[in-house]
Amino acid sequence: MRWLAALAVALACVPATGQQQGKLTPAERDARARDYFTDTVLKTHMGRSVRFYSDTMRGKVVAISFMFAGCGDACPLITAKLVQAKNDLGEAFGREVRFVSISVDPLHDRPEDLAKFARKFDADHPGWLFLTGEEANVNQVLKKLGAYTESVENHFTGIIVGSPAQGRWKKVRPDAPAKAIAEEIRHLVAGEIETRKTAAAPGAVPRP
């Protein structure tokens, strides 16, 4: 339960949500999201260095999960469920949607370990990033998401779905059906597309 409480606090701290978020320009929303989530450098399962916000979250609806390569129970089950959700999303996955799985054990999880995990559970897809990196960097990101833990065996197993462009975030229980996860993501995709249309309209102004 303490992880649920920590996560709620973290998401509540994201600047400008709800009506307040709607009054911001797209550039202001983007800047606030980057300031909060940070561009901390992590490593993908392919060994590529990425900035956490700008390279993994910007312009996408994201589903963020937490795992470690040596996990033998919850992580494989949650990953398998996300694979089902990915398949249910069809062409939206990878185009509007990105999955991000962050290792809670960066001391032991090398990029090649995450790549092996992704292949084993059929999660090796360009639209799905598994992230690790220097311990301090990973921990900084985990703390921003309310998922930092000193005991990897007791890590937060929920899924965070959200849209930085809309300032909308939701916790999804790990036992939620894959179709329910996909449906939550579809709602965010619809809002993302509408946000882009509004921003591109001639003379567009922030919503009141």
DSSP bridge pairs for 159: 172
Sheet with 159-163, strands from edge to edge, namely: 49-51, 41-44, 128-132, 97-103, 61-67, 159-163, 168-172
Q: What range does the domain containing 44 cover? A: 2-200
The pTM of this model reads 0.86
Residue at 110 is within a domain: yes
Please tell me the predicted confidence (pLDDT) of residue 193. Answer: 84
Residue at 206 is within a domain: no
Residue at 205 is within a domain: no
Residues of the chain with pLDDT under 50: 1-13, 15-19, 207-208
Residue at 66 is within a domain: yes
The single-letter DSSP state of residue 152 is G
Please tell me the predicted confidence (pLDDT) of residue 26. Answer: 85
Please tell me the predicted confidence (pLDDT) of residue 40. Answer: 98
Residue 118 belongs to domain with CATH number: 3.40.30.10
Tokens of 154: 């007791």
Residue at 139 is within a domain: yes
Please tell me the predicted confidence (pLDDT) of residue 114. Answer: 98
Q: How many distinct structural domains can be found in the chain?
A: 1
Residue at 160 is within a domain: yes
